[in-house]
Amino acid sequence: MAVERPSSRIALVGTGSRGLMFLRGIAERPAVSIVALCEPNAVRAEYYQGELERLNQDRVPVYPPDRFEEMLAKERVDTVVVTCVDALHDVYSVPALEAGVRVVTEKPMTTDVDKCRRINEAAQRTGNHLTVTFNYRYNPVHEEVKRQIASGTIGNGKSATKGSS
């Protein structure tokens, strides 16, 4: 059984590897909780339910994409984290902003200028909060490399470059 938390209510859209990084990070924070998933793939959604349980969290309702707005209202979501396919970020970000929900989305914000414009206009029109993150900055592999360098385990590096192959 999960620990009771006073919290920000977060819904996660998309259950790929980027979403898993967010799920794990959110589960570690006492003032927030995941209250719903939006995902069309039942197998991936079930994997996330298992991850929630492994992290001592409750299973949450899973909504298909065509019930996204219902999910926002029914689950009283105040923040949505959009980690689905980049080309669909606007499909979730715009209605969330219009519903008064904070949006955290991945870089790239979406895949073309018109979709970016839609998201930006919704944020400006509603005055609601939009954050575009860059997950590779916090990628576990990159964090481990940083720890190894900082600890001196792999020497006293000053810079690194990728050579041509």
Structure tokens at 22: 């967010």
Q: What is the pLDDT of residue 151?
A: 86
> What string of DSSP letters covers 24-50?
HHHHT-TTEEEEEEE-S-HHHHHHHHH
Q: How far apart are CA 114 and CA 5, in angstroms?
A: 39
Structure tokens at 32: 């927030």
Q: What is the pTM of this model?
A: 0.80
Q: How far apart are CA 48 and CA 59, in angstroms?
A: 9
Q: What is the pLDDT of residue 153?
A: 84
* Average pLDDT over every residue of 101-127: 95
Q: What is the pLDDT of residue 112?
A: 94
Q: What is the pLDDT of residue 155?
A: 74
Q: How do residues 80-89 score in pLDDT, each as one tens digit?
A: 999 999 999 9
Q: How do residues 116-127 score in pLDDT, each as one tens digit?
A: 999 999 999 999
| Helical (H) or strand (E) element with 106 | strand 102-106
Q: What is the pLDDT of residue 5?
A: 43
Q: How do residues 1-47 score in pLDDT, each as one tens digit?
A: 454 544 699 999 999 888 998 999 899 888 899 999 999 999 999 99
Neighbours of 80 (CB within 10 A): 26
